[in-house]
Amino acid sequence: MTKTLFLIRHAKSSWDQPGLRDFDRSLNERGLRDAPIMAQLLRTHITEPVLIVSSPAKRALTTARFFAAAFSIQEEAIVLQPNIYEATGYQLLKIISSLPDVADTILMFGHNPTFTDVANLFSDDLIANLPTCGIVQIKSTAQKWSELYDDNSEVVWKLFPKDAAY
């Protein structure tokens, strides 16, 4: 089986509480609108993912929960990966390489600038910025997540909220 990774940046977050830790920021009104719509659009694009992996930051996990609901996956099945939060590109690639090989399709939720940086490693076209709730699909001929390299993997599809017809 080949491997398919969807990098999904968290939906738009709120800055209404200046003293709140970045980790604890919730989604704002636009984020709460975009996440379920983008989840449904992705649902029409692929069959059910085997695994959902998310940063535990509130805005990323909340976004992941909307996608889990769209795919009828229990919230408890979302795998929290604390190292996604504040990861560098290199660290995120290490996280990806350690994903369970039994999962051929993974939805991963996290943050910029890292998600944009990693997406660009696999893209022929520069992605200037993976927007909030933006989705990038990386398809690979690799048999194991540890074998995901730029010469056997590529960005084959992307969907950004501004491009979605809703």
Structure tokens at 15: 């800055």
- Kindly state whether residue 138 falls inside one of the protein's structural domains: yes
CB 13 within 8 A of CB 158: no
- Kindly state whether residue 7 falls inside one of the protein's structural domains: yes
Helix axes 58-70, 29-45, angle to 10 degrees: 40
pTM across the whole model = 0.96
DSSP line for 108-128: EEE-TTHHHHHHHHT-SS--S
Beta bridge partners of 136: 7, 158
CATH label of the domain that carries residue 122: 3.40.50.1240
The tally of domains found in the chain comes to: 1
- Kindly state whether residue 165 falls inside one of the protein's structural domains: no
- Kindly state whether residue 159 falls inside one of the protein's structural domains: no
- Kindly state whether residue 67 falls inside one of the protein's structural domains: yes
Boundaries of domain holding 26: 3-14+22-153
Q: Which of 98, 95, 131, 96 is nearest to 113 (CA)?
A: 131
Please give the chain's pLDDT, 166 residues, in tens.
799 999 999 999 998 888 899 999 999 999 999 999 999 999 999 987 779 999 999 999 999 999 999 999 999 999 999 999 999 999 999 999 999 999 999 999 999 999 999 999 999 999 999 999 999 999 999 999 999 999 999 999 999 999 876 5
- Kindly state whether residue 163 falls inside one of the protein's structural domains: no
- Kindly state whether residue 158 falls inside one of the protein's structural domains: no
